[in-house]
Amino acid sequence: MPSSSEKNAAPPLPEPLRVPVADSHTHLDMQSGTVEEGLAKAASVGVTTVVQVGCDVRGSQWAAETAAAHESVHATVALHPNEAPRIVHGDPDGWSRQGARQPGGAGALDEALAEIDRLAALPQVKGVGETGLDYFRTGPEGKEAQEGSFRAHIEIAKRHGKALVIHDRDAHADVLRVLKEEGAPERTVFHCYSGDAEMAEICARAGYFMSFAGNVTFKNAQNLRDAVAVAPLELLLVETDAPFLTPAPYRGRPNAPYLIPVTVRALAAVRGIDEDALASALAANTARAFGY
Ligand SMILES: [Zn+2]
Ligand SMILES: [Zn+2]
Protein backbone atom coordinates (compact mmCIF):
# COMPACT_ATOMS: atom_id res chain seq x y z
CA MET A 1 0.00 0.00 0.00
CA PRO A 2 1.40 3.45 -0.88
CA SER A 3 1.49 5.88 2.04
CA SER A 4 -0.99 8.74 1.90
CA SER A 5 1.80 11.21 1.11
CA GLU A 6 2.77 9.08 -1.91
CA LYS A 7 -0.84 9.01 -3.02
CA ASN A 8 -0.92 12.82 -3.17
CA ALA A 9 2.55 13.22 -4.62
CA ALA A 10 3.27 14.20 -8.22
CA PRO A 11 3.49 11.05 -10.40
CA PRO A 12 6.98 10.16 -11.71
CA LEU A 13 8.26 11.38 -15.09
CA PRO A 14 7.15 9.04 -17.86
CA GLU A 15 9.58 7.84 -20.48
CA PRO A 16 10.09 10.73 -22.97
CA LEU A 17 8.27 10.76 -26.29
CA ARG A 18 10.60 10.51 -29.28
CA VAL A 19 8.35 12.80 -31.31
CA PRO A 20 7.31 15.99 -29.49
CA VAL A 21 3.62 16.84 -29.01
CA ALA A 22 1.45 19.59 -27.55
CA ASP A 23 -0.82 19.48 -24.52
CA SER A 24 -3.87 20.96 -26.27
CA HIS A 25 -5.63 22.03 -23.06
CA THR A 26 -4.14 22.82 -19.67
CA HIS A 27 -4.57 25.14 -16.71
CA LEU A 28 -1.06 26.09 -15.56
CA ASP A 29 -2.56 28.67 -13.21
CA MET A 30 -4.16 25.88 -11.15
CA GLN A 31 -1.00 23.72 -10.91
CA SER A 32 1.71 23.79 -8.27
CA GLY A 33 5.18 25.15 -9.02
CA THR A 34 6.11 27.97 -11.38
CA VAL A 35 5.17 28.15 -15.06
CA GLU A 36 8.85 27.80 -15.97
CA GLU A 37 9.18 24.61 -13.91
CA GLY A 38 6.02 23.13 -15.42
CA LEU A 39 7.14 23.92 -18.98
CA ALA A 40 10.66 22.57 -18.41
CA LYS A 41 9.36 19.34 -16.90
CA ALA A 42 6.94 18.90 -19.81
CA ALA A 43 9.64 19.65 -22.42
CA SER A 44 11.94 17.08 -20.79
CA VAL A 45 9.54 14.31 -21.85
CA GLY A 46 8.69 15.72 -25.28
CA VAL A 47 5.70 17.92 -24.45
CA THR A 48 7.13 21.06 -26.00
CA THR A 49 3.98 23.13 -26.50
CA VAL A 50 0.98 23.83 -24.28
CA VAL A 51 -2.33 25.56 -24.83
CA GLN A 52 -3.19 27.54 -21.70
CA VAL A 53 -6.95 27.86 -21.31
CA GLY A 54 -8.73 30.75 -19.62
CA CYS A 55 -11.95 30.19 -17.65
CA ASP A 56 -12.82 33.67 -16.44
CA VAL A 57 -11.75 37.26 -17.12
CA ARG A 58 -8.76 37.21 -14.80
CA GLY A 59 -7.65 33.74 -15.95
CA SER A 60 -7.97 34.77 -19.60
CA GLN A 61 -5.86 37.87 -19.04
CA TRP A 62 -3.28 35.65 -17.32
CA ALA A 63 -3.34 33.17 -20.21
CA ALA A 64 -2.70 35.97 -22.70
CA GLU A 65 0.15 37.38 -20.58
CA THR A 66 1.71 33.95 -20.11
CA ALA A 67 1.56 33.16 -23.82
CA ALA A 68 3.14 36.52 -24.61
CA ALA A 69 6.02 35.70 -22.25
CA HIS A 70 6.67 32.10 -23.38
CA GLU A 71 7.29 30.90 -26.91
CA SER A 72 5.95 27.42 -26.10
CA VAL A 73 2.61 28.64 -24.69
CA HIS A 74 -0.47 29.56 -26.70
CA ALA A 75 -3.54 31.03 -25.04
CA THR A 76 -7.28 30.65 -25.31
CA VAL A 77 -9.69 33.04 -23.59
CA ALA A 78 -13.26 32.63 -22.37
CA LEU A 79 -15.80 32.58 -19.62
CA HIS A 80 -16.27 28.93 -18.64
CA PRO A 81 -19.83 27.62 -19.12
CA ASN A 82 -20.20 27.52 -15.33
CA GLU A 83 -18.77 31.03 -15.01
CA ALA A 84 -21.35 32.82 -17.19
CA PRO A 85 -24.39 32.02 -14.96
CA ARG A 86 -22.33 32.94 -11.90
CA ILE A 87 -21.60 36.37 -13.31
CA VAL A 88 -25.31 36.95 -13.97
CA HIS A 89 -26.85 35.33 -10.89
CA GLY A 90 -23.99 35.07 -8.39
CA ASP A 91 -23.17 31.77 -6.71
CA PRO A 92 -22.51 31.33 -3.02
CA ASP A 93 -20.89 27.91 -3.62
CA GLY A 94 -18.72 29.15 -6.48
CA TRP A 95 -15.94 26.70 -7.29
CA SER A 96 -13.78 29.24 -9.09
CA ARG A 97 -10.77 30.62 -7.27
CA GLN A 98 -12.57 33.98 -7.20
CA GLY A 99 -15.04 32.34 -4.83
CA ALA A 100 -18.40 33.80 -3.93
CA ARG A 101 -19.63 36.70 -5.98
CA GLN A 102 -22.49 39.15 -5.88
CA PRO A 103 -24.93 38.78 -8.77
CA GLY A 104 -24.08 41.24 -11.52
CA GLY A 105 -26.96 40.74 -13.96
CA ALA A 106 -26.81 40.62 -17.74
CA GLY A 107 -24.81 43.88 -17.86
CA ALA A 108 -21.95 42.25 -15.98
CA LEU A 109 -21.92 39.35 -18.46
CA ASP A 110 -21.77 41.80 -21.38
CA GLU A 111 -18.90 43.61 -19.74
CA ALA A 112 -16.97 40.36 -19.20
CA LEU A 113 -17.63 39.28 -22.80
CA ALA A 114 -16.30 42.63 -24.06
CA GLU A 115 -13.00 41.91 -22.28
CA ILE A 116 -12.87 38.39 -23.78
CA ASP A 117 -13.49 39.96 -27.20
CA ARG A 118 -10.60 42.39 -26.65
CA LEU A 119 -8.25 39.57 -25.59
CA ALA A 120 -9.33 37.36 -28.51
CA ALA A 121 -7.81 39.87 -30.92
CA LEU A 122 -4.29 39.40 -29.48
CA PRO A 123 -1.87 37.44 -31.70
CA GLN A 124 -0.77 35.00 -28.96
CA VAL A 125 -4.42 34.13 -28.28
CA LYS A 126 -5.13 31.23 -30.64
CA GLY A 127 -8.57 30.23 -29.47
CA VAL A 128 -11.81 31.19 -27.78
CA GLY A 129 -12.78 28.79 -25.01
CA GLU A 130 -13.40 26.92 -22.99
CA THR A 131 -17.02 27.66 -23.68
CA GLY A 132 -20.02 25.46 -24.29
CA LEU A 133 -22.60 23.85 -22.03
CA ASP A 134 -22.28 22.10 -18.67
CA TYR A 135 -25.47 20.56 -17.35
CA PHE A 136 -23.56 18.71 -14.62
CA ARG A 137 -22.65 21.76 -12.56
CA THR A 138 -25.13 24.33 -13.84
CA GLY A 139 -28.82 23.74 -13.12
CA PRO A 140 -31.87 24.83 -15.13
CA GLU A 141 -31.79 28.36 -13.61
CA GLY A 142 -28.42 29.00 -15.25
CA LYS A 143 -29.18 27.47 -18.64
CA GLU A 144 -30.22 30.66 -20.40
CA ALA A 145 -27.13 32.63 -19.35
CA GLN A 146 -24.93 29.67 -20.25
CA GLU A 147 -26.33 29.21 -23.74
CA GLY A 148 -26.29 32.96 -24.40
CA SER A 149 -22.64 33.10 -23.37
CA PHE A 150 -21.82 30.08 -25.59
CA ARG A 151 -23.42 31.78 -28.61
CA ALA A 152 -21.49 34.99 -27.89
CA HIS A 153 -18.19 33.06 -27.74
CA ILE A 154 -18.92 31.38 -31.09
CA GLU A 155 -19.48 34.80 -32.62
CA ILE A 156 -16.24 36.16 -31.12
CA ALA A 157 -14.23 33.16 -32.39
CA LYS A 158 -15.58 33.55 -35.90
CA ARG A 159 -15.08 37.31 -36.04
CA HIS A 160 -11.42 36.96 -34.97
CA GLY A 161 -10.77 33.81 -37.02
CA LYS A 162 -9.73 31.86 -33.90
CA ALA A 163 -10.32 28.24 -32.90
CA LEU A 164 -13.35 27.49 -30.71
CA VAL A 165 -12.68 25.29 -27.66
CA ILE A 166 -15.79 23.46 -26.49
CA HIS A 167 -16.49 22.26 -22.96
CA ASP A 168 -19.38 19.79 -23.20
CA ARG A 169 -20.48 18.08 -20.01
CA ASP A 170 -23.71 16.06 -20.15
CA ALA A 171 -24.89 18.35 -22.95
CA HIS A 172 -23.90 16.64 -26.23
CA ALA A 173 -27.15 17.18 -28.16
CA ASP A 174 -27.53 20.83 -27.19
CA VAL A 175 -23.86 21.64 -27.90
CA LEU A 176 -24.18 20.14 -31.39
CA ARG A 177 -27.51 21.98 -31.92
CA VAL A 178 -26.13 25.40 -30.91
CA LEU A 179 -23.05 24.90 -33.12
CA LYS A 180 -25.31 24.07 -36.04
CA GLU A 181 -27.64 27.01 -35.39
CA GLU A 182 -24.82 29.54 -35.05
CA GLY A 183 -22.56 27.98 -37.67
CA ALA A 184 -19.37 26.55 -36.16
CA PRO A 185 -16.06 28.36 -36.69
CA GLU A 186 -13.71 26.79 -39.22
CA ARG A 187 -11.69 25.19 -36.41
CA THR A 188 -13.66 23.73 -33.51
CA VAL A 189 -12.18 21.53 -30.76
CA PHE A 190 -14.16 19.33 -28.38
CA HIS A 191 -11.94 19.48 -25.32
CA CYS A 192 -11.99 16.47 -22.98
CA TYR A 193 -14.10 14.68 -25.54
CA SER A 194 -16.80 12.82 -23.65
CA GLY A 195 -19.12 11.46 -26.34
CA ASP A 196 -19.38 7.92 -27.67
CA ALA A 197 -18.42 6.45 -31.05
CA GLU A 198 -21.69 7.56 -32.65
CA MET A 199 -21.06 11.19 -31.66
CA ALA A 200 -17.46 10.87 -32.87
CA GLU A 201 -18.83 10.07 -36.30
CA ILE A 202 -21.02 13.19 -36.17
CA CYS A 203 -18.00 15.28 -35.14
CA ALA A 204 -15.90 13.70 -37.89
CA ARG A 205 -18.46 14.62 -40.54
CA ALA A 206 -18.49 18.21 -39.26
CA GLY A 207 -14.67 18.33 -39.15
CA TYR A 208 -14.55 18.97 -35.39
CA PHE A 209 -11.33 18.08 -33.59
CA MET A 210 -11.67 15.65 -30.67
CA SER A 211 -9.22 16.14 -27.83
CA PHE A 212 -8.80 13.21 -25.43
CA ALA A 213 -7.76 13.61 -21.81
CA GLY A 214 -6.43 11.21 -19.16
CA ASN A 215 -9.89 9.82 -18.47
CA VAL A 216 -9.57 7.79 -21.68
CA THR A 217 -7.38 5.46 -19.56
CA PHE A 218 -10.04 4.88 -16.91
CA LYS A 219 -11.42 1.38 -16.59
CA ASN A 220 -15.04 2.52 -17.01
CA ALA A 221 -14.32 4.63 -20.12
CA GLN A 222 -14.81 2.05 -22.88
CA ASN A 223 -17.16 4.52 -24.66
CA LEU A 224 -14.24 6.96 -24.97
CA ARG A 225 -11.91 4.27 -26.31
CA ASP A 226 -14.59 3.32 -28.84
CA ALA A 227 -14.67 6.96 -29.92
CA VAL A 228 -10.86 7.05 -30.23
CA ALA A 229 -11.03 3.99 -32.45
CA VAL A 230 -13.46 5.54 -34.97
CA ALA A 231 -12.25 9.17 -34.97
CA PRO A 232 -10.22 10.13 -38.06
CA LEU A 233 -6.53 10.31 -37.18
CA GLU A 234 -6.30 13.85 -38.54
CA LEU A 235 -8.91 15.10 -36.02
CA LEU A 236 -7.35 13.59 -32.87
CA LEU A 237 -5.76 15.78 -30.19
CA VAL A 238 -4.41 14.99 -26.72
CA GLU A 239 -4.65 17.07 -23.56
CA THR A 240 -4.23 16.90 -19.80
CA ASP A 241 -6.91 19.37 -18.62
CA ALA A 242 -4.44 19.46 -15.71
CA PRO A 243 -4.66 19.63 -12.75
CA PHE A 244 -7.72 17.44 -13.38
CA LEU A 245 -8.18 13.96 -14.94
CA THR A 246 -4.81 12.41 -14.15
CA PRO A 247 -4.40 9.28 -16.28
CA ALA A 248 -4.26 5.77 -14.80
CA PRO A 249 -2.38 4.44 -12.88
CA TYR A 250 -2.01 7.87 -11.20
CA ARG A 251 -5.71 8.70 -10.95
CA GLY A 252 -6.38 11.08 -8.05
CA ARG A 253 -2.85 12.48 -7.98
CA PRO A 254 -2.01 15.95 -9.36
CA ASN A 255 -1.93 16.17 -13.15
CA ALA A 256 0.40 18.34 -15.24
CA PRO A 257 1.47 18.59 -18.90
CA TYR A 258 4.48 16.25 -18.35
CA LEU A 259 2.04 13.34 -18.03
CA ILE A 260 0.86 13.65 -21.66
CA PRO A 261 3.05 10.68 -22.76
CA VAL A 262 0.94 8.35 -20.57
CA THR A 263 -2.21 9.32 -22.48
CA VAL A 264 -0.46 9.30 -25.87
CA ARG A 265 0.60 5.68 -25.23
CA ALA A 266 -2.94 4.73 -24.21
CA LEU A 267 -4.30 6.28 -27.42
CA ALA A 268 -1.69 4.50 -29.54
CA ALA A 269 -2.66 1.18 -27.95
CA VAL A 270 -6.37 1.74 -28.66
CA ARG A 271 -5.65 2.65 -32.30
CA GLY A 272 -3.08 -0.10 -32.67
CA ILE A 273 -0.57 2.28 -34.21
CA ASP A 274 3.02 3.15 -33.54
CA GLU A 275 3.59 5.74 -30.80
CA ASP A 276 5.82 7.92 -32.99
CA ALA A 277 3.33 7.94 -35.86
CA LEU A 278 0.54 8.94 -33.50
CA ALA A 279 2.69 11.64 -31.88
CA SER A 280 3.51 13.16 -35.30
CA ALA A 281 -0.19 13.26 -36.17
CA LEU A 282 -1.13 14.78 -32.78
CA ALA A 283 1.53 17.48 -33.12
CA ALA A 284 0.44 18.42 -36.63
CA ASN A 285 -3.25 18.32 -35.71
CA THR A 286 -2.82 20.63 -32.70
CA ALA A 287 -0.86 23.15 -34.76
CA ARG A 288 -3.57 23.06 -37.44
CA ALA A 289 -6.42 23.32 -34.93
CA PHE A 290 -5.00 26.38 -33.22
CA GLY A 291 -3.28 27.91 -36.25
CA TYR A 292 0.24 28.27 -34.88
ZN1 LIG B 1 -13.64 21.79 -19.52
ZN1 LIG C 1 -10.31 22.91 -18.88
Give the model confidence (pLDDT) of 46-94 as tens digits: 999 999 999 999 999 999 999 999 999 999 999 999 999 999 988 645 5
Domains along the chain with CATH numbers: 18-290 (3.20.20.140)
Q: Which helix (H) or strand (E) holds 13?
A: none
Task: Judge whether 73 and 48 are in contact, CB under 8 Å.
Answer: no
Could you tell me if 216 and 226 are in contact, meaning their C-beta atoms sit under 8 angstroms apart?
A: no
Q: How far is the CA of 276 from the centre of ligand 2 (A)?
A: 26
Ligand 1 centroid – CA 27 distance (Å) = 10
Beta bridge partners of 132: 167
* Max CA pair span of the chain: 54
Report the separation in Å between the CA atom of 2 and the middle of ligand 1, taken as the mean of its atom positions. Answer: 30
Q: pLDDT digit string (tens) for 219-260?
A: 999 999 999 999 999 999 999 999 999 999 999 999 999 999
How far apart are the CA of 215 and the centre of ligand 1, in A?
A: 13
pLDDT band for 97, please (50, 70, 90 cuts): very low
pTM of the prediction? 0.95
The ligand with the least distance to the CA atom of 23 is: 2
For 116-141, what is each residue's pLDDT tens digit? 999 999 999 999 999 999 999 999 99
List of residues 6+ apart from 222 with CB closer than 8 A: none
Ion ligand 2: protein residues whose beta carbon lies under 5 Å:
241
On the question of pLDDT at 31 being above 60, the answer is yes
Q: Which protein residues have their CB within 5 A of the ion that is ligand 1?
A: 130, 167
